[in-house]
Structures are given as C-alpha cells and as structure tokens.
C-alpha cells in the first residue's frame, strides 16, 4: 500500500503565530524525504497558511522536481468566491502560484449545502468539467464534511465526480456529528474512491491520554499513537490516499517508514482502537480539528483566534500538572497581540455556520474564558 499523501496545511513555521512564515529550508528537506521514500501525492488549497501554501508547494515541489515525478491536488474555494469570473480568476492564479499547467487532482473545497448551491449559482461545476474535458484536470473530486444523507444526494446528482475527500479517523468513525463510517459507506455504494483527511484529527490522536496509549502499546509496543490512526484509515478498502499534515522531518520519517510496507490492521487491532476511542472520548473536551474554516471562511467580529484557543483549552484540560500553565501564557500572548478574548464573544454564530464539526463555538468560548482568563496573571 502506497497511500500516504503530504498535506501542506500544517507546514513548519518560523514564527508560530504567523501562518505565512513557512520554514522553507526545512520544508524542502521534508519533501525530499517524502519523495525519496516513494510517495508522490501533494495536497494543497487556496486558503491554507493564509494563502501561502500553494506558493510554498510551488517552490518546494514543482520548481525542484520533474512534473512527472509527483501529483498535485488543489481545491476551488467556492465558499470565498462571489462570481463566476472570480472563480475563474482564482483557478488561474492557483496554477500560477503553483507553477503547474494542469492539476492531477482538483476538488471543490468543502462541498456543504451553501457551497454546493454557490457552485451551481456561479456555474463553477460546468467550468470544472470543461477543465477536466480539456485535460487541465486529470481527476475531479470534492471534499465533504457534511452528513451521509447529503453526501448521497450530491453523488447522485453529480455522478461525474471521481473521488471524495472525507474526514475519517477512528475517533469519528461512529460519531453522529461527523459520520465517518456512514459517509465512507456512501462512497463505497457509489463506487467512488475515498481520500482521507484528518486521519489523526488535527493531532488529537497523536498524543493520547495515558490510559488509551497504554492500551495500544500493550498490543503493538512499537507503534506510535499517530501511526495507529494512519493505519486505521489506510486499512479501509476503497481508501486511495491518506493525507497527513506533516509539520516536522521526524513526522515525515516516521510516516514514510511504516506506510511504505504497511499491512492492513487485523480484527483485534480494530477492536483495540475502538476501546481506545472510548477512553479518549472521556478526556478530549472540544472536538476541534484545527481546520481553520471558522477563521478563513468566516470573519469573527471580535477577531478571536478560535482554533488557537480551542487547542489551548484542550491541552489545558488534559494537563496533569496544574502548578504552571504554558497555555495561559500562550493565551495572554494572543491577547497582547491584539486578538479578541474568548470573553469578548458576542454569540453572533457566524463561525458556527462554517464549522464542519458542528461545534457550538460561542458556548465553548464561555468555558475557554473561564479556564484561561481566570487567575491568569499574564493578562493585563
Ligand atoms: S460566535 Fe463568537 S467566536 Fe464566533 S464569530 Fe461570533 S463573536 Fe467570533
Ligand atoms: S472550531 Fe470548527 S471550523 Fe474552527 S478550526 Fe475547529 S473544527 Fe475547524
């Protein structure tokens, strides 16, 4: 199985608070290691890293390797365009930012109800089908965070889509909110290959609660928690690519080493993962994947860095030592840089309308404020 894809949405940064400060020398070493291990699939998108992912992939991949040695996937940000012409312009700029003449894979990004209607309204689906017919797009697909019933509807109405990118991981497999299993089964029913995003759930499954990790280590002592998560997704028949948003050379080295010659999980392994998921569910407070839709497809009137605060909150809640909190320090840094506090949230719900995990963000902001603002001496 050669299913590992490099997701260019969590690249290494020089400044952790600046998504555009991509550490290019390190990224190039990561890309070199990925390709030298026999993998080829590179996934980017218009808005990743505050619009700087595509140029970074252009530099680290396209300008340094023969075009035939890798495959590129990017996505039409239909949620951000306001006219057909703007969609055409974005598509042309993506090709130029990447430095490619064609896309091996091209997706409609986040095909939810609003974006599907918008794609039809601006006639973007015909535009993309024309690009496919002309050979500029080799395979046309879409990513989807919506429920299985809706996915079934889209695939029935648009049978020309050739693959679907889904959020699949062992924690969300039976989740009623995400419906990983049900969505996967819809794709199988329609005969569409599945490309997996968020197999490690935005890093949540890389660092497990002690009890869950001990359980998995008792089955395979040498497998890291992140490798369990990738193995789960890659073991599903019909899954063609499993994306990993790799941020360090160590992650690339680990992932490429075991994904190169990976055997599918056994029945007993899957049972162990189900048991681990039960243990994890008891501890992770907010099921945020860090996808950033809430800050990139929506504008918070209070300039609150939602995924950043949720990540801090989740880590704070898992913390065993309570005598000192780096999370409160990070939180105060955000505020010092002029970002809104969690307690500034006015419950306008605009972020919630685009959250694929259907998180009640405004309600959680009250908990974040209580946890990270109270008794935080670093806030002035
Ligand atoms: S609900 Fe709160 S966090 Fe979300 S956009 Fe509105 S003010 Fe910002
Ligand atoms: S709150 Fe929702 S939209 Fe925002 S980063 Fe988390 S999962 Fe994504």
Same-domain status, 174 and 215: yes
pLDDT of residue 326: 66
Q: Within 6 Å (CB) of ligand 2, which residues are found?
A: 288-294, 306-307, 310, 355, 357, 359, 361
pLDDT of residue 188: 98
The mean-pLDDT minimum among 56-65, 219-228, 287-296, 364-373 falls in 287-296
pLDDT higher than 70, residue 1: no
70-81 per-position pLDDT tens digit: 999 999 999 899
The residue ranking higher by pLDDT, 70 or 314, is 70
**Residue nearest atom 3 in ligand 1 by C-alpha distance:** 345
144-154 per-position pLDDT tens digit: 877 788 899 99
The CA distances from residue 65 to 93, 96, 261, in Å, are 21, 17, 24
**Residue nearest atom 8 in ligand 2 by C-alpha distance:** 291
pLDDT higher than 70, residue 48: yes
Helices (H), 46-158: 48-51, 53-57, 84-98, 113-121, 124-134, 148-157
Task: Please check whether residue 378 lies inside any domain of the structure.
Answer: no
pLDDT bucket at 230, cuts 50 / 70 / 90 = very high
Q: Pull the structure tokens for residue 109.
A: 């990004």
Residues 6+ apart with CB under 8 A from 238: 184, 187, 188, 193, 194
Q: Within 6 Å (CB) of ligand 1, which residues are found?
A: 300-302, 304, 306, 345-351, 361-362, 365
pLDDT of residue 178: 64
What's the pTM value of the predicted model, to 2 decimals?
0.78
- Please state the rounded mean pLDDT for residues 132-137: 98
Same-domain status, 199 and 306: no
In sequence order, what are the beta bridge partners of 6? 42, 244
Ligand 2 pocket test: pick from 307, 311, 351 the residue with the most ligand atoms within 8 Å of its Cβ.
307
Task: Please check whether residue 191 lies inside any domain of the structure.
Answer: yes
* Residue 167 belongs to domain with CATH number: 3.20.20.100
- Please state the rounded mean pLDDT for residues 181-208: 92
Same-domain status, 269 and 310: no
The domain total for the chain is 2
Secondary element (H or E) of residue 76: strand 71-76
Same-domain status, 193 and 323: no
Same-domain status, 238 and 360: no
Same-domain status, 115 and 163: yes
Using DSSP's 3-state secondary structure scheme, residue 289 falls into coil
Q: Which of 229, 253, 281 is the last residue of a domain?
A: 281
CA 262 to chain CA centroid, nearest Å? 22
Same-domain status, 207 and 109: yes
Task: Please check whether residue 288 lies inside any domain of the structure.
Answer: no
Report how far ligand 1's centroid is from the alpha carbon of 14 (Å): 28
Task: Please check whether residue 32 lies inside any domain of the structure.
Answer: yes
254-280 per-position pLDDT tens digit: 999 999 988 899 999 999 999 999 898
**Residue nearest atom 6 in ligand 2 by C-alpha distance:** 288
Same-domain status, 204 and 328: no
**Ligand 1 atom closest to the CA of 346, numbered from 1:** 7
Report how far ligand 2's centroid is from the alpha carbon of 308 (Å): 10
Domain extent for 95: 4-281
pLDDT of residue 323: 53
HSE-CB for 245 with a 13 A CA cutoff: 25
Task: Please check whether residue 287 lies inside any domain of the structure.
Answer: no
Same-domain status, 100 and 188: yes
Same-domain status, 22 and 61: yes
Task: Please check whether residue 286 lies inside any domain of the structure.
Answer: no
């Amino acid at each position: 199985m050669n299913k590992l894809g490099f997701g260019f949405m969590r690249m290494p940064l020089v400044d952790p608070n600046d998504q555009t400060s991509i550490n290019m020398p390190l990224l190039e070493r990561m890309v070199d290691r990925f390709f030298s291990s026999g993998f080829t699939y590179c996934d980017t998108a218009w808005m990743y890293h505050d619009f700087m992912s595509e140029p970074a992939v252009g530099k680290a991949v396209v300008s340094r390797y023969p075009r035939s040695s890798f495959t590129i996937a990017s996505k039409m940000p239909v949620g951000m365009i306001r006219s057909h012409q703007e969609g055409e312009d974005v598509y042309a700029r993506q090709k130029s930012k990447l430095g490619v003449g064609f896309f091996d894979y091209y997706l409609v990004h986040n095909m939810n109800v609003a974006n599907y209607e918008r794609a039809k309204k601006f006639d973007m689906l015909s535009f993309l089908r024309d690009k496919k017919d002309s050979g500029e797009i080799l395979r046309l697909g879409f990513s989807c965070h919506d429920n299985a019933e809706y996915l079934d509807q889209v695939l029935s109405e648009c049978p020309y889509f050739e693959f679907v990118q889904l959020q699949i991981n062992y924690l969300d497999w039976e989740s009623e909110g995400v419906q990983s299993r049900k969505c996967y089964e819809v794709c199988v029913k329609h005969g569409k290959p599945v490309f997996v995003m968020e197999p490690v759930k935005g890093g949540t499954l890389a660092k497990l609660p002690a009890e869950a990790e001990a359980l998995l280590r008792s089955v395979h002592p040498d497998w890291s928690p992140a490798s369990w998560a990738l193995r789960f997704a890659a073991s599903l028949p019909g899954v063609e690519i499993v994306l990993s948003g790799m941020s360090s050379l160590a992650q690339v080295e680990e992932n490429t080493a075991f994904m190169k010659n990976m055997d599918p999980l056994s029945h007993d392994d899957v049972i162990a993962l189900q048991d681990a998921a039960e243990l994890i569910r008891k501890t992770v407070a907010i099921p945020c994947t860090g996808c950033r839709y809430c800050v990139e497809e929506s504008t918070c009137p209070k300039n609150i860095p939602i995924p950043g605060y949720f990540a801090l909150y989740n880590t704070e809640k898992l913390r065993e030592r309570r005598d000192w909190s780096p999370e409160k320090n990070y939180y105060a840094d955000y505020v010092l840089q002029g970002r809104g506090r969690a307690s500034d949230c006015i419950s306008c719900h605009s972020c919630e309308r685009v959250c694929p995990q259907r998180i009640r963000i405004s309600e959680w902001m009250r908990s974040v404020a209580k946890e990270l603002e109270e008794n935080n001496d670093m806030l002035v």
